[in-house]
Structure 1
Amino acid sequence: MGLFERYLSLWVALAIGLGVVLGSTMPGAFETVASWQVAQINLPVAVLIWLMILPMMMQIDFASVKQVGKQPKGLVLTLVINWLIKPFTMAALGWLFFRVVFADLVPTADADQYIAGMILLGVAPCTAMVFVWSQLTKGNPAYTLVQVSVNDIIMMVAFAPIAALLLGVSDILVPWQTLIIATLLYVVLPLVVGMLWRQALLKSGEAKLNGVIAKLKPLSMLSLLATVALLFAFQAQTLLAEPLVMVLIAIPLLLQSYGIFAVTYLSAKWLKLPHNVAAPASMIGTSNFFELAVAVAIALFGLHSGAALATVVGVLVEVPVMLSLVAFANRTRHWFTAPAQA
């Protein structure tokens, strides 16, 4: 890893601080930027995420996608964690902390809202950011693409019924436009651009392709930092106004994140998966599709609801948590078998 990537946690911390300062001193400017949305997807954030994942997409050798079927265990592990375990453990932790541990600190009505927001995060596995985490752990890009794509397909049919079951409502409103546009924007479009650009560069040789990807990687990391700064700037007022509530919500979310990663990572080791499949599989299960979770929370409970606040806290804790897990995964690469060959 280069100097920049090696100290990425420091740069993220600085980006967080910068975002809070700018958001608290220039709230009007960031309210305007936050309003630039299509189907509740913020366009500046979308562009930054797109820049983050494009280098990953360019590394995909589509001939190797055909080989994914020879290692189905990684895909099965991802699906079991995301749809049979994660939503229910998130709901259980939310209930435990806000109905028992924090019962004397939070009014019951507010507690119900926070639990609802946590549930929405648990039912929305990551779509876009996982490409960044996969790249940082030297994950197999073709396998990561298949894992994310299959999750997106299942999300189309499983998100609403599982969320409805755990929220205890019979008629949950899912912003399908948000879900579809996000899938196209974060997976399909950069995939097509990456594929076409890769093919064009390969005409000049593989060295040319590798050179362009190397030049794009710093842009990818800078886009990550800009995304972090922007998200914290959007929520700076809330962070400063309700620090205790944010901490209370963050505690079960942190336990959920590290717990899910541990279960997935150890299961991958038990299944004898190669590290370049095990690491992305664990990252997908740990991180969340925060754009969808925030959008549904706003649609169901309102912009200033406790549920919306809980999903925002999920956004705020995700990047530092995922960076710590990336570092752990890279240090434990020797636990696993040799990488799968394309």
Structure 2
Amino acid sequence: MSTTTPTSAHHDETTGRLSTLDRLLPVWIGLAMVAGLLLGRLVPGLGEALSAVEVDGVSLPIAVGLLVMMYPVLAKVRYDRLDSVTGDRRLLLGSLVLNWVLGPALMFALAWIFLPDLPAYRTGLIIVGLARCIAMVVIWNDLACGDREAAAVLVALNSIFQVFAFALLGWFYLSVLPGWLGLSQTGIDASTWDIARSVLIFLGVPLVLGFLSRRLGEKRRGRDWYEASFLPRVGPWALYGLLFTIVVLFALQGEAITSNPLDVARIALPLLVYFAVMWLGGFALGAGLGLGYARTTTLAFTAAGNNFELAIAVAIATFGATSGQALAGVVGPLIEVPALVALVYVSLALRRRFTATPSRKVHP
């Protein structure tokens, strides 16, 4: 069987390589980033217009783009298989340790190592490290032939921990730990309800829609029709939503990014190290635990990705839209998107090293 990607193209199950269309994904993403930056610089008032309507501190167009992006992937999840994931304690415990122990600690260390003289950017990076991914990771996981059911469970687990742990970890890494180490302290304004609302919007809505689509579609027309006819029609919208989100995001911050190229470069370096270390750590842990390729890949990408929507919203709410903290949050996806796309290719190249796996290798 072949794998249906967000673009409805197929993976080669023998080589694990992407289709011709998906191999051009970095081109589409690069063009979307450039288009967004140019629009933000050349169209007067565009940023203000896009920011005029906000949802939970995030531009409504970005919210719409994320929902469109996530729905097709979550509609592909076989929800009747989730029990096989929830019973995998190695996967769940590994994910919790990577996301809520290693991730925030690593970003804290990198922020202080690379940006000791830039407190605003440093704080912004630490906030990014606290916001674990619940959105774009489903795209990277799907492109890399990861386990969709495992991804759905892990992002839900991250969401629950995010609601209860984000503000507490923010207090610890921005105020308590720096105080213990004799470093400068700061704080963030992030209420439990604000974080829960973000989770409900960016994960809850597409998750419910995806579940209902599969349940009702299979009940009325059967699984064969749903997976052979319905999913290929909605699949391309994941890519459209991703590219639209990137264009809007970079249009909103195009001037800030292009006006501070050296600052962006300094923020980018610790981010690159962070994504590489987290992904490699997740992949090595999954392989060491014998999770098999699909779940190892899912573990790696859920560990490496971050919830930039929440990080940007918190930075803007606490420090202002034009603050250095907000700029650091915006640079997050600027680096994360191409970095994790590159890691999709790395993951697929490593796929042939895996033999039999406890979870399915490819999706029907």
Q: TM-score range by the shorter chain?
A: over 0.9
Corresponding residue SS for 2:145: coil
Matches within 5 A, 1:245-256: 245-256=263-274
Unpaired runs of at least 5, structure 2: 1-17, 176-184
Query: Normalising to structure 2: TM-score of the pair?
Result: 0.87
CA distance, structure 2, for counterparts of residue 59 and residue 10 of structure 1: 25
Cross-structure match for 2:323: 305
Greater alpha carbon shift after TM alignment, 168-177 vs 61-70: 168-177
Contact 1:49 1:186 in 2 (8 A): yes
Contact 1:175 1:296 in 2 (8 A): no
Cross-structure match for 2:194: 178
Q: How far 1:47 moved relative to its partner? A: 1.2
Cross-structure match for 1:73: 90
Q: Which amino acid aligns with 2:305?
A: S
Contact 2:38 2:254 in 1 (8 A): yes
Percent identity over the alignment is 32
Cross-structure match for 1:317: 335
Residue correspondences, number: 332
Q: How far 1:69 moved relative to its partner? A: 3.4
Of the candidates 63, 66, 84, which is equivalent to residue 49 of structure 1? 66
Q: How far 1:268 moved relative to its partner? A: 0.9
Could you say if the C-alpha distance between residues 21 and 171 of structure 1 is closer, same or farther in structure 2, counting changes exceeding 3 Å? Answer: closer
CA distance, structure 1, for counterparts of residue 346 and residue 186 of structure 2: 41
Cross-structure match for 1:97: 114
Matches within 5 A, 1:52-63: 52-63=69-80
Of the candidates 336, 339, 352, which is equivalent to residue 334 of structure 1? 352
Query: Normalising to structure 1: TM-score of the pair?
Result: 0.92
Cross-structure match for 1:190: 206
Q: How far 1:71 moved relative to its partner? A: 1.8
User: For each residue in 1:140-170, what CA deviation from the matched residue of structure 2 results, as whole angstroms up to 9, or x when unmatched?
Assistant: 2221111111111111221112111111158
CA distance, structure 1, for counterparts of residue 349 and residue 232 of structure 2: 23
Q: How far 1:175 moved relative to its partner? A: 4.1
CA distance, structure 1, for counterparts of residue 237 and residue 93 of structure 2: 33
Cross-structure match for 2:182: none
Could you say if the C-alpha distance between residues 22 and 194 of structure 1 is closer, same or farther in structure 2, counting changes exceeding 3 Å? Answer: same
Of the candidates 250, 256, 261, which is equivalent to residue 238 of structure 1? 256
Could you say if the C-alpha distance between residues 3 and 339 of structure 1 is closer, same or farther in structure 2, counting changes exceeding 3 Å? Answer: farther
CA distance, structure 1, for counterparts of residue 316 and residue 68 of structure 2: 27
User: For each residue in 1:107-127, what CA deviation from the matched residue of structure 2 results, as whole angstroms up to 9, or x when unmatched?
Assistant: x4xx11111111001111101
Q: How far 1:41 moved relative to its partner? A: 2.3
CA distance, structure 1, for counterparts of residue 47 and residue 121 of structure 2: 25
The structure carrying a bigger helix percent of its residues is 1
Contact 1:40 1:178 in 2 (8 A): no
CA distance, structure 1, for counterparts of residue 173 and residue 328 of structure 2: 16
Corresponding residue SS for 2:290: coil
Q: Which amino acid aligns with 2:210?
A: G
Q: How far 1:87 moved relative to its partner? A: 0.7
Alignment of 1:206 with 2:223, yes or no, is yes
Q: How far 1:201 moved relative to its partner? A: 2.0
CA distance, structure 2, for counterparts of residue 38 and residue 151 of structure 1: 21
Contact 1:175 1:295 in 2 (8 A): no
CA distance, structure 1, for counterparts of residue 106 and residue 212 of structure 2: 41
